[in-house]
Amino acid sequence: MIAALVACGPVRLVSPYDEALDYGASEVHTRVAAFVDKMTALAGKPEGTYAANTAFYADLKASVATLKMRAQAQGKNEVTVALVGELGTNVENLRRLHESSKDAGLPAVLASPALSAIEVNCAAIVKFEVAKRRGTQE
């Protein structure tokens, strides 16, 4: 059995490192952080309302969908697919939060805990991807 295993090269239980997922999750985080910062400053103004910013959510959801498609394209990548799914869930929750506050926009009291959660989502994707590159735990 060992001979059969070694004859096939290193055993892979997890897909290899994917730079596109690493950078993609980091980029989503950058965009969300910048958006939340901007929305916090614009809270209560017409430019900060959900209606004035729906395009951002459409773009962001498209980016996350692309990340998910990329993750799904590789075998043995179930964990990353689930992690990207969690990110997508929270992007939608952020959108719903913004929508719920109507003319108030996205004040810090809503934005800060929402951003904190999305940071954890993105950090988990990046951490796991980096660990795949190193092939070791930290």
User: Which residues form the interface with other proteins (CB under 8 A)?
Assistant: 2-3, 5-7, 10-14, 79-80, 82-83, 86-87, 89-90, 93-94, 96-97, 100-101, 109-110, 112-114, 116-118, 120-121, 123-125, 127-128, 131-132, 135-138
First vs last C-alpha separation in the chain: 31
Smallest distance from other proteins to CB 75, Å: 13
Smallest distance from other proteins to CB 112, Å: 7
C-beta of 42 vs 99, nearer to other proteins: 99
C-beta of 54 vs 112, nearer to other proteins: 112
Smallest distance from other proteins to CB 69, Å: 19
C-beta of 19 vs 116, nearer to other proteins: 116
Quick one: three-class SS letters along 104-127?
HCCCHHHHHHHHHHHHHHHHHHHH
Answer for the pair 14, 129: CB distance below 8 angstroms, yes or no.
no
Smallest distance from other proteins to CB 102, Å: 11
C-beta of 53 vs 124, nearer to other proteins: 124
Structure token pair of residue 131:
């660990």
Q: Report CA-CA distances (Å) from 76 to 15, 37, 72, 73, 108.
A: 5, 36, 9, 10, 39
